[in-house]
Structure 1
């Protein structure tokens, strides 16, 4: 059995997939307000930049950039998961464990790699059939990036040169 070794790079940029135990749940979008509160709280104490983020019913894809001299993305995810679970249990009296124990991480190594993972985040709701266009999925940093002029509202996953 192979043993996965997480990146130790300080100040790196990383792509993550974080998943609920129940892959048929819609808990994340049903309680997106609790997730947002949890992320804000952790971010205020352990800063990181959200480069891209999409919340789907049962999983999250995110691209984060950590501060220089910091490589502890695992603790950040742990705190987000703990806080979301606590808030969920307080609000709904949910009794079971919510998250899969682990998460998947990929260290971004180039501009092309970064662009591909941002696109992956933004196209994921379309891929799963939740919407026909990225602009129709409300639980994504895509809308922030449109306001910043980084994407056109009607972006379809292709750049002009592609």
Structure 2
């Protein structure tokens, strides 16, 4: 079966990427390795990371690709591979993965959504930043350290009280 993905050069996309074992905390335990994976891939395959939040077992991001490029799949493959090579081999590996020489760090696929307009972009930005509160890791968005929220807070796009004890209403409903 051929899986269909959006293919718009220079497009802006929302992603959800999960660990294979959702009860693990590899992403935050090895945050520097994940940052290095992104840095290494961006050096050869540029993209703008509009927003990102890293939780222990999954991450959400919005990327804008260069105007001549629509290949986000290669970027994710390289990021996953680079990160996987840098973390200890403690994961469970299925026989299917063993037969293909794969590790069991990440789910094979990821979820993407092409951003349609400004309202869609803002709804996904808000969803990303509110995610640590939604999952009960913090009471206020500003408390979560693994997020580009702090960058956008410094740019004046959000206030430090945004997404606090009050649940955010998402225009697109639950996006996850």
Give the alignment of 1:2-151 within 5 angstroms. Answer: 4-88=3-87, 92-94=88-90, 96=93, 97-151=104-158
Question: For 2:111 and 2:66, how far apart are their aligned partners in 1?
Answer: 20
Greater displacement, 120-129 / 2-11: 2-11
Query: 3-state DSSP class of the match of 1:116?
Result: helix
Question: For 1:60 and 1:72, how far apart are their aligned partners in 2?
Answer: 19
Please identify runs of 4+ aligned residues in structure 1 that moved more than 3 A. Answer: 93-96
For structure 2, the 5+ residue unaligned runs are 94-103, 170-176
Shift of 1:60: 0.6
| Number of residues of Structure 1 aligned to a counterpart in Structure 2 | 154
Question: For 1:150 and 1:48, how far apart are their aligned partners in 2?
Answer: 21
Question: For 1:93 and 1:116, how far apart are their aligned partners in 2?
Answer: 37
Shift of 1:44: 1.0
CA offsets, 1:5-43, max 9 Å, x none?
100111000000000000101110000110000000101
Shift of 1:94: 3.5
Question: For 2:3 and 2:78, how far apart are their aligned partners in 1?
Answer: 21
For structure 1, the 5+ residue unaligned runs are none
* TM superposition score normalised by structure 2: 0.84
Question: For 1:3 and 1:130, how far apart are their aligned partners in 2?
Answer: 37
